[in-house]
Structure 1
Amino acid sequence: MNKRFTWGKLKLQMTLYLLLSFMLSVVLFWLLQTASEDYLNRAFIVNNQETTGIMDFKKYVADKNISLDDQQAIKNWVREERYINLYIYKDNQLVYATDGYTSITDHDKSLLSIILKRGDFVTIEFSNTSAQVYMEYFYEYKYYNTVLIVCVAISLLFFIFIMLLFINKKTSYIEMIESEIKILEGGNLDYPITVKGKGKDELSSLAQSLDEMRKAFKERLKNEEKARAANSELLTAISHDLRTPLTALIGYLDIIEFKKYHTADELTKYIHNSREKAYQIKQLSDKLFEYFSVFNFDDEELELEHFDGNQLIEQLIDEQLLILQHNGFHFELVSCSTPFEIKIHLISIRRVFDNLFSNIIKYANPAKPVIIRYQVNKESLFIQIENHINTEMQSRNSTGIGMKTCKRIIEDHNGQISVTDNQNIYSVYIQLPLLNNNIERNINQD
């Protein structure tokens, strides 16, 4: 199937350079030919050859002992000379002519009288008689042809030279890109691809695309390295957090199995402790499963649903406030009265709230109120959850799995989440994008 011809930028440049080179070559040819012809018209070398032409013929006749009747020998000499016309007269009769005349006409008689007056006849002794010889010289055509060939050759070389300049510019750029790609192949992704004339032609576009690909690949490797480091850190923390309760659980079970307790109360205590450690291990394993369930589906997009923002946020917060109250916490809720709409993946966002409020129950000071605020502007929903840290806790060990999971979920919603920990006050800030339907009008109405 024939491909449709398209005019790319590089093809257009090549065509323009071709036309420009051709025009410059034609101008150069015209200048060279004009100057050369002018020089030949004034050159003394032609006149000198006109003088030597008749002498060469005279010498040829003498050396070859040519008779006036041997016209074939005379014709051979004329053929070799090429750039003359020869006329031989005997007793005012034309006996030989290059153009084939064998008799003189009335016009030739008048021409003959003019030549005789000018003295252009030269008498040459043939082997059998003497005769008057007249020559017409066209030696300049010999040089004109040579000059024409030279001018054409110079113009052609000039044309090739200009085209090679353009081609060399492009091939040098291609070689530069090739060498830079080899540097990238060697692993140096910090080396930039040179982009000459952004968008100027297909080569510059190719270089720009390669450089963008280099940046994207570098960023991807950077993210993968960060992910590997985070996973390594996570596994280290998990292994430590799992080993501690697991070791204790095994110890309690060994005491129970080998009956190293002394009283029934001690047995009950060991069973209770074993049960607590088992639940602790279960919580850690649930967190780990939740983390990997979020982070192992990079390529899957969340199926977002459309919700009334006020109803949704109030419902999510109310669910958590009941749990806070059950665990002895007080709270302050600062809500938003502006109507807004939002698209989210409900299960994932509920998981975020579960993690955040679970951390509050674990690490917050129940004597201080938990403050929850949410508000909207033209583009975003802002949620702030603030609590005082329980300073009476002996240790606050955490693997950070919950916050990593929350961060990933919020980012999948094209939002942002940040944490501050200042003066025993722990604050979480969440920003989520809103639907733009009538939000500006609703804000203005308020």
Structure 2
Amino acid sequence: MTIKNQSISKRFEAWVIRLINKPRNHLYTYILFATIIAGILSIATWLILNNASNMLYLRNYGKRAEAISREITTMVESKNLTYYQAIETIDLTQYYEENIRLVSNNGEKHSNDNKRMNFHSNDILYMFPINYSDSSGQILIRPMLRMLVPQYYEFIIVLISAFIFMLTLFLFIRKSIRYIEEIDRSIDIIAGGKLEYEIPIRGNNELSRLAANINEMSNSLKERMDIEKESDIKQRQLITDISHDLRTPLTALIGYLDLLENHIYENQEEADDFIHCASQKCFKLQTLIEELFTYNKLINKDIPISIEKDDIIEIVKEFISEQGLKINLESKERKAIISIDRNLINRIFDNLFDNIRKYGIRSEDATIYIKKIDHKVIIIVENSTDQDLSNKVDNIFERMYVGNESRTDNSSGLGLSIVAECVNLMNGLISAKFQKPRLQIIMEFNEG
């Protein structure tokens, strides 16, 4: 075997192995199998019909062969021709639909077509005896079927075979075609806006996986649109709440300034009180605007982040000391290393402690727990509150939560929302638990 043949053999063997190893529910394998079966049936149909047409013509061909034999025999006997005279006198080429051979018992033979001198064992032959004046012999007649059978018969047989091929292939793949049509109709439904519609999953091949992927895509798109819709509603609510929060201190500020401008006060002490109140309202507006600006930067990820490994226990100790807070820190760990941004973590504790000062019963009652569980560092900020948050704890990190529920003049309602966004930016998790009167803010970070 040559190198080229070996290469072809190896490629064919590799192709067969890949074909065998393909899953039986593979669409490619199924279509290939259907094509092979359709081809086999088509070829079988062609062979059967071709053989039937040949047999149909051969059934009545014996009479024609006898007539040709009688005609040749009559010519030989009437003219008393020898074998050589017969082959010189009789024009066998006039019988163009047959291959005729004159044979002498002396072993000599003559044909009307030298190219067809050799007969084969599977040829159909008609043998008739003949007597020459000098010897005896046979007339061998082999019908030429391609000359006997009309060409339009062959054309019809080819058409029927092709029809059998197409019909068989269609019967095999009609379920797949119907499923493709069903997927197409389903896509039109989904494209029409019914994103909740799901394409039925049938079988386990490329088409079923395509349907599953389309369902997943439409579900993801629906979820995204629902999130965007919810976000839009919350954004409008945020604008409404912020407008209310800005209007309240701004109205008070305008009122105080109007009193001062028109000198509507009894003495300088009262005027100083008005100036102080106006100043407080300005600070309130400044705080609200700064927190809103910070929150928008966080949710838009428009803030520089520098993640570094640090010891959260030391950070909390430093923060408590710098703020002068009386808050308990409990941890059995000597160190708890997590990957954080120092500015963000400071912002988190600043907002949490500010929240404790505003809503806690007393700051001394607050406790921070730090522990390690399964390569996670858990930070729990716990304090007592006089508010009943039993049914509201799930909403505590929503924007303007305080503004929606129990807004005070000292809160923007964005504090815990900012905390949640900061935790998310550092790939952490945050949650809240409430068991009256204790509120827990729980943060979880990967250790190391």
Q: TM-score range by the shorter chain?
A: 0.5 to 0.7
Q: Is the 8 A contact 2:199 2:211 kept in 1?
A: yes
Query: Which residue of 1 is the match for residue 339 of structure 2?
Result: 343
Match of residue 221, structure 1, among 193, 218, 225: 225
Q: Is the 8 A contact 2:375 2:447 kept in 1?
A: yes
Q: How does 1:160-175 map to 2 (within 5 A)?
A: 160-165=166-171, 168-175=174-181
Query: Which residue of 1 is the match for residue 125 of structure 2?
Result: none
CA drift of 1:137 comes to 9.3
Q: Is the 8 A contact 1:26 1:155 kept in 2?
A: yes
1:21 maps to 2:38: yes
CA drift of 1:250 comes to 0.7
Query: Which residue of 1 is the match for residue 370 of structure 2?
Result: 374
Q: How does 1:6-155 map to 2 (within 5 A)?
A: 14-32=31-49, 86-87=71-72, 88-89=74-75, 90=78, 92-93=80-81, 98-99=92-93, 111-113=129-131, 138=143, 142=148, 151-155=157-161
1:315 maps to 2:315: yes
Residues in 2 aligned to 1:216 and 1:100: alpha-carbon distance in whole angstroms: 82
CA pair 21-391 structure 1, distance change in 2 beyond 3 A:
closer
What is the number of equivalent residue pairs in this alignment? 365
Q: Larger Cα Rg: Structure 1 or Structure 2?
A: 1
Match of residue 186, structure 2, among 180, 189, 192: 180
Q: Is the 8 A contact 2:356 2:363 kept in 1?
A: no
Between 229-238 and 247-256, the greater mean CA deviation after superposition: 229-238
Residues in 2 aligned to 1:98 and 1:261: alpha-carbon distance in whole angstroms: 144
CA pair 338-156 structure 1, distance change in 2 beyond 3 A:
farther
- SS where residue 112 of structure 1 aligns? strand
Q: Is the 8 A contact 1:385 1:429 kept in 2?
A: yes
> In the alignment, residue 313 of structure 1 is paired with which amino acid?
I
- SS where residue 259 of structure 1 aligns? coil
CA drift of 1:255 comes to 0.3
Query: Which residue of 2 is the match for residue 304 of structure 1?
Result: 307
What runs of 5+ residues in structure 1 fail to find an aligned partner?
1-5, 55-77, 79-83, 115-133, 436-446
Query: Which residue of 2 is the match for residue 403 of structure 1?
Result: 416
CA drift of 1:313 comes to 3.0
- SS where residue 440 of structure 2 aligns? strand
1:386 maps to 2:382: yes
What runs of 5+ residues in structure 2 fail to find an aligned partner?
1-14, 96-101, 109-127, 133-138, 389-404
Q: Is the 8 A contact 1:46 1:139 kept in 2?
A: no
Q: TM-score, normalised by structure 2?
A: 0.68
CA drift of 1:353 comes to 1.3
1:157 maps to 2:174: no
> In the alignment, residue 23 of structure 1 is paired with which amino acid?
I
Per-residue CA distance 1:314-359 (angstroms, 9 max, x = gap): 323441355363xxxx432211316443212221222111111111
Match of residue 215, structure 2, among 194, 211, 218: 211
CA drift of 1:231 comes to 1.8
Residues in 1 aligned to 2:188 and 2:431: alpha-carbon distance in whole angstroms: 41
Residues in 2 aligned to 1:85 and 1:401: alpha-carbon distance in whole angstroms: 118
Query: Which residue of 2 is the match for residue 268 of structure 1?
Result: 272
> In the alignment, residue 112 of structure 1 is paired with which amino acid?
I
Query: Which residue of 2 is the match for residue 190 of structure 1?
Result: 196
Residues in 2 aligned to 1:367 and 1:11: alpha-carbon distance in whole angstroms: 70
> In the alignment, residue 111 of structure 1 is paired with which amino acid?
P
CA drift of 1:105 comes to 9.0
Q: Is the 8 A contact 1:371 1:385 kept in 2?
A: yes
Residues in 1 aligned to 2:193 and 2:181: alpha-carbon distance in whole angstroms: 19
Q: Is the 8 A contact 1:365 1:391 kept in 2?
A: no
Per-residue CA distance 1:15-43 (angstroms, 9 max, x = gap): 444333323333444455566667777x5
- SS where residue 111 of structure 1 aligns? strand
CA pair 270-221 structure 1, distance change in 2 beyond 3 A:
same
Root-mean-square deviation over aligned CA pairs: 4.1
Q: TM-score, normalised by structure 1?
A: 0.68
